[in-house]
Amino acid sequence: MSGHAAFLVLERANQLMKEIGLSFDAALAKGKQEAGHRSTRLPIV
């Protein structure tokens, strides 16, 4: 995942946490799913 794509996934996770009260892990998983990524880990940049 590119740095930009990872940033977008994190931004979406943050939005989901605020909007519907998801935990970070759940929001991150949903953000990745919406972005079409199957990985459970983000690369360290």
**pLDDT per residue as tens digits for the range 19-44:** 999 899 998 888 888 877 545 455 55
8 inside domain: yes
7 inside domain: yes
40 inside domain: no
10 inside domain: yes
* Per-residue confidence (pLDDT) for residue 34, from 0 to 100: 80
pTM, whole model, 2 decimals?
A: 0.64
* Per-residue confidence (pLDDT) for residue 23, from 0 to 100: 93
11 inside domain: yes
Between 5 and 37, where is the model more confident? 5
CA distance 6 to 21: 21
The count of structural domains within the chain is 1
Range(s) of the domain holding residue 14: 3-35
H helices within the chain, ranges in order? 3-20, 24-35
45 inside domain: no
User: Are the CB atoms for 18 and 10 separated by under 8 Å?
Assistant: no
| Encoded amino acid at 39, one letter | S
Q: Which two tokens stand for residue 35?
A: 């972005």
